[in-house]
Amino acid sequence: MTEFHVKTKNILRAFNILILAFSVLSCATSSKNYKEIDHSVDQANYTAAVDTIVKRQDSRKVIYSQKNAIMLFLDKGLLEHYAGNYSASSADLQNAERLIEEAYTKSISEGFFSYILNDNVKEYPGEDFENIYLNVFNALNYYNRNDIEGALVEIRKLSNSSGKLEMLARRYEYKDPKTGASINDTVTKETGVSSLPDVKSVNFSNSALARYLGALFYQADGNEDSSRIEFDQVYRAYSTNRNIYSGAVPNAVEAARNVPAGTARLNIISFTGLSPVKEEKIILQYLPFQHPILQIAMFKLPVMTRRPSVINRIEVEVDGSKTFELELLEDMGSVIEETFNAHYSNILLKTYIRTIIKYVVADVAAMTAENNDNSLAGLAIALGARAAMDASEKADIRMSRYLPDKAYIGGINLDPGTYSVIIKYCNWNKVIYSDKFSNVTVKSGGLNLIQSVKLK
C-alpha cells in the first residue's frame, strides 16, 4: 500500500471516529408526546393534565427522560398551580429551581470543552425566563396558602440586590474558570479562527409583574416602605425596558397603590395564552474551507415561535353592575424572547465552533485526496462528510411548554363585603370564556386578590 493510501486511510479513520462521536453526542431526545396533556390544557382541565404526566412517568414510555427533569418539574409545577394544588406546585417548582442552580454551577466548573458539546446530550439546564417565572408562580402558591412571608421570600429571590434579575445580564459573560479568558479568546486560541458571531447582551433586568406582586404582598404585610419601593420599581421597569414594555404603566398600578380610606381594594390578575416555544430553524452560512462542497455549512438552531391566543380583551363584572377592563402588565412572551436572545447567541457560537472542528477534519481529508490527483475520492469524502455532519446536528428545542403568554391586572375599590365576580375573556366584543367567583369576601386592610388563568 502506498504512503498516500496509508495516510488517506488514517485521516479517514480519524474523521469517521470524530463524526461518530459527534453523532452520538448530538443525538437529541426522541420527540415527546404532549398531545394528551395539550388537549387537557386546551380544555382548562389542569388536573387531568397533571394526571397524564404522573401516569406516563410511571410507564415505560415516559414523556420526560431523566436528563429532562427540570422540564418535568416546571411543567408539572405550573399545571399543579393552575389546578389549585398549591403545595404540590411549590414542591415541583422548588425542585426545578434547585436543579437549574446545580446545572449552572456545573456548567461554570466544566470550562470550555463542555461549552462546545451539543446541548441535547446534556441534562436540560433550564432557561433564564423559566428561572424567573417559577418564583413568580411560587409566590402566588404561597399567597394562595395564606403565607404572605413565603410569597415575599420568592419575590426577594428576584428583586433583592444580587437577585436573579440583577444577575441576568451577567449570566452569559463566559470566562474560562482557569485562565479567565473570554469565549472568543478561548475559541481563537483553540481553533485559530477569529471571526466569530457577536454575543448579544440581555436587555431585560426588571420584571413589572414580579415588582407589582411584591408591592401587593408587602402592602398586605404592613410594610409600606417596601411596598412603595416595589411600586416605584414597576415604573422603573417600564422606563428602562422599553423593548419589553412599550405601552404606558397600567392605571391599576397607581390605583392599587393609593386605596381611599374606608374602602377595600379587590385586585384581579389574569394569565392568558401560552408562551412561545422553540422550533428548529435551518440556516446556511459560507465558511472559507478549500473544498467547495464544504464551504456552505448547515446550522440547525432553536428559534422562538409564538402561539397565538384568541383573547385580546378581558372584562370584569362585579355584582352584575360594576364593570371594568383588565390592563396588560407584562407581555411574558416578549420577556421570554428577549431573555432567550443571549442564550441564542451562545448557541450559535457553540454550533459555529462544533461545525469548524468537524469541517476542518473533513476538509483536510478531502483536500489530501484532491492534492494527490484523486478528485473523485476527495469529492466522495466531502459529500459523505457533509451528509454525516448535517445528520449529526439537531437543535435543542427543550423548554417548559405551559408558561402563560401575557399577564393582565385590574381592580376596583369597594365597600368591605361579599361579592360575585365574573371575569369575561373576549375576542374583541365576543365573550369566549367566563370565570365565575361566588361569595368573594373583600376586606379592608389586607390583600384581596383573585387569580384567573385561560391558556387556550
Percent over 70 (pLDDT), the chain:
84
* Dihedral sign (CA 294, 297, 298, 302): positive
Q: Which element (helix H / strand E) includes 266?
A: strand 264-272
Question: Measured between alpha carbons, how far is 297 from 304 in angstroms, rounded to an integer?
Answer: 22
Rounded average pLDDT over 370-381: 83
* Dihedral sign (CA 21, 22, 25, 28): negative
Of 172, 117, 123, nearest in space to 353 by CA: 117
298 SS3 class: strand
> Can you give the pTM of this predicted structure?
0.87
With beta carbons less than 8 A apart as the criterion, state whether 173 and 139 touch: no
Of 274, 275, 272, nearest in space to 326 by CA: 272
246 SS3 class: coil
With beta carbons less than 8 A apart as the criterion, state whether 100 and 131 touch: yes
Q: Pick the residue with more confidence: 390 or 56?
A: 56
Asked whether residue 60 is domain-assigned, the answer is no
Q: Which element (helix H / strand E) includes 53?
A: helix 46-57
C-alpha cell at 60: 415505560
> Model confidence at 306, in pLDDT bands (50, 70, 90)?
very high
Q: Pick the residue with more confidence: 168 or 36?
A: 36
Confidence (pLDDT) at 132: 96
Asked whether residue 53 is domain-assigned, the answer is no
Confidence (pLDDT) at 23: 46
| Reduced 3-state DSSP string for 13-45 | HHHHHHHHHHHHHCCCCCCCCCHHHHHHHHCCC
Asked whether residue 37 is domain-assigned, the answer is no
Asked whether residue 42 is domain-assigned, the answer is no
Residue 408 β-bridge partners: 270, 328
Number of domains in the chain: 1
> Model confidence at 116, in pLDDT bands (50, 70, 90)?
low
Confidence (pLDDT) at 28: 41
Asked whether residue 46 is domain-assigned, the answer is no
Question: Measured between alpha carbons, how far is 217 from 447 in angstroms, rounded to an integer?
Answer: 7
Buried residues in 339-365 as b, exposed as e (16+ CB within 10 A): bbbbbbbbbbbbbbbbbbbbbbbbbbb
pLDDT digits (tens, 9 = 90+) for 118-162: 788 889 999 999 999 999 999 999 999 999 999 999 999 999 888
Question: Measured between alpha carbons, how far is 453 from 176 in angstroms, rounded to an integer?
Answer: 43
In degrees and rounded to multiples of 5, residue 452 shows phi and psi of -135, 145
- Residue 67 burial (CB count, 10 A): 14
pLDDT digits (tens, 9 = 90+) for 1-38: 455 455 445 544 544 544 454 444 444 444 457 999 99
Residue 75 β-bridge partners: none
Q: For the chain, state the CA radius of gyration.
A: 26
pLDDT digits (tens, 9 = 90+) for 208-267: 999 999 999 999 999 999 999 999 999 999 999 988 999 999 999 999 999 998 899 999
pLDDT digits (tens, 9 = 90+) for 28-73: 444 457 999 999 999 999 999 999 999 999 998 899 999 999 999 9
Q: Pick the residue with more confidence: 218 or 346?
A: 218
Confidence (pLDDT) at 430: 95
Asked whether residue 41 is domain-assigned, the answer is no
Question: Measured between alpha carbons, how far is 80 from 130 in angstroms, rounded to an integer?
Answer: 16
> Model confidence at 362, in pLDDT bands (50, 70, 90)?
confident
133 SS3 class: helix
Asked whether residue 237 is domain-assigned, the answer is yes
> Model confidence at 170, in pLDDT bands (50, 70, 90)?
low
- Farthest-apart Cα atoms in the chain, separation: 99
Question: Measured between alpha carbons, how far is 327 from 325 in angstroms, rounded to an integer?
Answer: 7
Q: Pick the residue with more confidence: 27 or 361?
A: 361
Confidence (pLDDT) at 151: 98
With beta carbons less than 8 A apart as the criterion, state whether 409 and 322 touch: no
Question: Measured between alpha carbons, how far is 82 from 79 in angstroms, rounded to an integer?
Answer: 5
Asked whether residue 264 is domain-assigned, the answer is yes
290 SS3 class: coil
C-alpha cell at 50: 397533571
> Model confidence at 207, in pLDDT bands (50, 70, 90)?
very high
With beta carbons less than 8 A apart as the criterion, state whether 352 and 118 touch: no
C-alpha cell at 239: 422606563
Count how many residues are written for the chain: 456
Q: Pick the residue with more confidence: 117 or 297?
A: 297
Question: Measured between alpha carbons, how far is 133 from 158 in angstroms, rounded to an integer?
Answer: 9
pLDDT digits (tens, 9 = 90+) for 427-445: 999 999 999 999 999 999 8
In degrees and rounded to multiples of 5, residue 343 shows phi and psi of -65, -40
Residue 303 β-bridge partners: 279
Question: Measured between alpha carbons, how far is 300 from 270 in angstroms, rounded to an integer?
Answer: 36
With beta carbons less than 8 A apart as the criterion, state whether 393 and 280 touch: no
Question: Measured between alpha carbons, how far is 203 from 440 in angstroms, rounded to an integer?
Answer: 40
Q: Which domain holds residue 395?
A: 3-29+65-454
With beta carbons less than 8 A apart as the criterion, state whether 67 and 123 touch: yes
What DSSP character marks residue 182? B
Q: Pick the residue with more confidence: 48 or 456?
A: 48
Question: Measured between alpha carbons, how far is 132 from 206 in angstroms, rounded to an integer?
Answer: 10
